[in-house]
Structure 1
């Protein structure tokens, strides 16, 4: 009878990613993609914390816009919010202005926009300000546009409707809060670009 030798893995932290075997149906991976996975989920420094916060705030804005979207598509009869004199989500979110752009509910456009912000926050590994400086610059520009849009819609509600949508206000506040988080990495990317020229 032949004896078999059992090879043991050296002690240490568990593998970061479970890698599938060859073949099969589905997407392929790469060392770069696995590095992005490790950096985003477990890394620290190199602006990763700020990127996570941008993703968290954008996800919060998306959740708020999702509630508005359920109302704008007729899946909710009323927007759930406290009965306070300055709140009026039903009137604000059912107005013609809310359906003017592309003749579709503005919550749908907001969710699409939030998806772009999330993609930019997640794109690239910890060194992206050095290797792909256009990505942090694009994220800073996008969060500036998000913040400006949120402020504009809040002002529109106050001046036109004399009431605000609580969910829209949460989304706008989250969007405004993303901008200062994106700026430090954008400044590092800009320094990198200036150093190349």
Structure 2
């Protein structure tokens, strides 16, 4: 691959990351408006799988009494800022990698909690989780670089991003 090809691929991944971050922010705005009482309901697709209104107004969606959509808007705004800064600043790139890991982990946890606690999904939150997955995909080199740097400096136990499969004793 030529340096120009690498630059084009990097630019495409950066654009995907920024676009997915904007998508995550856009899906959180209606939820935030609903959680703060500005709008009276969240529309869902006509499927019994979704119950955005109940989930968005639940106690778990208000950690410390704060609507989680507002926390998400602040969080993804920080991710967006780091994504912009990461092209020019090495520290921002490392922070972006760590932030994407946190974002993806939080999104997966949130979807899992919805399924196991409510037996339903918030369609808007699912959109946010999908956008977050795309962000993690687009920022995978920043994530990899961050993990490798942490491993090299001894801040995590692994020395590479490879996993060893071990045999578990039979039950």
For the aligned pair, the TM-score class normalised by the smaller chain equals: 0.7 to 0.9
Whose Rg is larger? Answer: 1
1:181 matched to 2:138: yes
CA RMSD of aligned residues (A): 2.0
Residue 167 (structure 2) aligns with: none
Question: 4+ residue stretches of structure 1 with deviation over 4 A?
Answer: 185-191
CA deviations 1:17-62 (Å, max 9, x no partner) are xxxxxxxxxxxxxxxxxxxxxxxxxxx5372221221111011011
How many residues of Structure 1 are paired with residues of Structure 2 in the alignment?
143
Distance 1:150 1:124 in 2: 22
Normalized against structure 1, the TM-score is what? Answer: 0.67
Do structure 1's residue 158 and structure 2's residue 122 form an aligned pair? no
Q: Secondary structure at the match of 2:42?
A: coil
Q: Output the TM-score relative to the length of structure 2.
A: 0.76
Secondary structure, aligned partner of 1:86: coil
Separation (CA, whole Å) in 2 of partners of 1:48 and 1:166: 30
Encode CA deviations 1:126-180: one digit per residue, 9 max, x unaligned: xx3xxx3222121111111111111100001101011100010010011012112
CA distance in 2, matches of 1:79, 1:50: 32
Q: Unaligned regions of 5+ residues in structure 2, if any? A: 1-6, 153-171
Unmatched tracts of structure 1, length 5 or more: 1-43
Q: Secondary structure at the match of 2:28?
A: helix
- Conserved? CA contact 1:68–1:107, under 8 Å: yes
